[in-house]
Amino acid sequence: MFVLGLTGGIGSGKSTVAHLFGELGVHRVDADEVARAVVEPGESALTDIGAHFGADVIRNDGSLDRAALRARIFEHPEEKQWLEALLHPLIRRRIVRELSPTGYDLPYIILVSPLLLETDQHSMVDRVLVVDVDEEHQVQRTMARDGNDEALVRRIMATQMSREERLGKADFVVDNRASSDQLKSQVDSIHRQVLMLAQGHQA
pLDDT digits over 17-76, tens only? 999 999 999 999 999 899 999 999 999 999 999 999 998 899 999 999 988 898 888 888
Pair 154, 59 in one domain = no
Pair 134, 198 in one domain = yes
- Write the CATH number for 155: 3.40.50.300
The total domain count for the chain is 2
Q: How does residue 147 score in pLDDT terms, banded at 50, 70 and 90?
A: low
What average pLDDT is seen over the chain? Answer: 88
Planar angle of CA 121, 125, 126, nearest 5 degrees: 150
Strands 28-30 and 2-7: unpaired
Could you give the CA distance from residue 106 to residue 142 in angstroms, rounded to a whole number?
33
Enclosing domain of residue 114: 1-27+104-203
- Highest mean predicted confidence (pLDDT) among 61-65, 153-157, 184-188: 184-188
Pair 14, 39 in one domain = no
Q: How many residues does the chain have?
A: 203
- Of 53, 77, 100, the domain-final residue: 100
Strands 2-7 and 127-132: parallel
Q: Provide, for the chain, the percentages of residues in helix, strand and coil under a 3-state DSSP scheme, each rounded to the nearest 5.
A: 60, 15, 30
Report whether pLDDT(149) > 90: no
Pair 192, 137 in one domain = yes
